[in-house]
Every structure is written in C-alpha cells, then in structure tokens.
Amino acid sequence: MNQFTIENTQQFEIFSKEINQEFIINIGLPPNYSKDHDRYPVVYVTDAGSNFIGLMGSLPLMQFVNDLPSFVLVGIDYKSPNSMDSMSLRNRDLTPTNDKIWMAAQKDMYKIFGEDLPQVEAGGAKYFLDFINDEIKPFINQKYYVDTTDQTYCGFSLGGLFGLYTLFNSSDSFKRYVIGSPSIWWDDRHILKVEEEYAKKNKNLSAKVYAATFGINAALCGIAGALISITLTLHPYVGLPYTVRSFMIVIVAGLGNLPAVAVSGMGLGLFEEFADYILGTEFRIGAVFLLLVLILVYRRFKLSRKREYLK
C-alpha cells in the first residue's frame, strides 16, 4: 500500500526508558500555523493511532471557520510491528492498578483473535504520566510555539480512566480534562476511592473538567436508528437482533476496548455470512443466538476458573 501524508502533520519517535517502550508522537498543526500568532494551546490525546487521522480530517476545517480555536494537537501512539498491539499496551499505560481478573479475561480474548499480543502488567499510569510530563511536554514546548500554561488532556474509555487518575493525583498537569466514558469499573471502581481521598483533602479542583458518559454512544445509536428506519418496517422488537449482536461484541471484546470491539464486530459479520451460506437465511438469526449462548457459557467457565486460581 502506498504511503500518504496528512497536511500540517509531523511525526516523531520517543523512547521511554522507564516504560521500555518506543512511542510515536503525532503532531497536528492548525491552519496557518505561525510564530506571528499568539502562542498556541496544546491538546494531548491518548489512543491516537487511527483516531489521529480522523481528528486531522475534521479539526482544520473547524478551526478555519472559527468553530474551534487554533491549537496544536499531540497524539500519543505506540511504535509496533502489529497495529493490534495497542489493545494490550493501553491496558498497561492507562490504568492505575492491576485488575487481575480483567487482565486474565483479556488474555483469553486475545487468543480468539489469534494475535500474539504483548504480555504486559496493568497499573502503569504513574509511569505513563511521568513520561508525558517529563519527556513529551518538554519536547513539544521546545519545538513548537505553544502556551505552556494552556494544556488540555483528552481521553476516552481507559483513556478517560487515565484522565481521572491524573486529575486526582496531579491535577495541575493540565488546565482542562476532556473525559469520555471513563472506565470507572476498573478494579472494583478503584478510581472512586481515589476521588474520595482527594475530596477529603481538597475543597476545589485546579482544572476544568468536561465529561461525557455515554453521550456519544447515545448520539450514534440515535443516528443509526434514524438510518435503519429508512429500510426496515418498525415494530416493538425490531431492535432485538441488533441488541443481541451488540451484547455479544461487548462480551467478547470487553468494555472500553475500541480496537477489540471493531475486530469483534467484523468477526461477527463474517460468522453471520458463513451461517447464511451454510444454513440459509431463515437460520441466520438462530445461529447468532446459539453463538451468544456458547460465548456466555465459555466466558462464565473461564472466569470461574480464573477466580479460583487467583484466590
């Protein structure tokens, strides 16, 4: 496949000795970036692999027409020969503790995809935050015409959990936090205990927080429902097959794991096409329900064994 370049972007590699990981730092500059302008705010984004391409496809136009202020976008990604490695590596860097039950289940899920993903231990949020503050920020501050007092963090899912961890442990790291659907459930809601301790010692937050919990999800569901109503006859049970499919995908991929959700969705689509070809259209939905039962039984059995082992 031929390589392509996105306008107003640059890319660098920074190796973290403490994490022992090579990171790719994607830089997105605003239209007409110039030192004649006031110093630019900086927005730091985690999980910035393919997401960075999507952001740079929309941000410049929104900045050009003044729907958004001009800022420098910094996307943090992993340098790895396998694009799916981020599914595992983000568990290490974006989590404050090691959720052993979740991590054990994740290893089993990776086997479903047949991927030889990196074996990591979760709970490395402290080291990842140190890497951002001590290595990435000085690099950006030196190389680009930015306002060091106007920095924003943006993260979704586990990235949102990392944002909450940073907010309660080093809130002055960023001026603003944009937190989408944070994985509060991680390790028996450990982050809520951290928040409780913070509230006992502090009366105020030194940063602004913008949180959207399932807001984007609801909007996307609404759009999808409007589009599907064009081709389907609506009745009370029209959404049941899609609910089952969504539930299956989440069970296989895990909550808050966007790359795994995408892969699981494509895998389910292939299974349905195969079932349609072998069994016929009339048994297609039945095959999906049967697959759901098998997945639930398998996951229940595996989690029970893992819990006994961890005890």
**pLDDT tens digit string along 60-73?**
888 887 888 999 99
pLDDT at position 292 is: 76
Which CATH number is 9-213 given? 3.40.50.1820
Contact 178, 153 (CB under 8 A): yes
pLDDT at position 291 is: 80
Contact 109, 260 (CB under 8 A): yes
**pLDDT tens digit string along 119-133?**
889 999 999 999 999
Strands 40-45 and 72-78, by their bridges, are parallel
CA–CA dist 153, 303 (Å, integer): 34
End-to-end CA distance of the chain: 49
Domain spans of the chain? 9-213, 232-310
- What percentage of residues in the chain have a pLDDT greater than 70? 80
How much is the pTM? 0.70
Residue 221: pLDDT over 70: no
Residue 178: pLDDT over 50: yes
pLDDT at position 48 is: 87
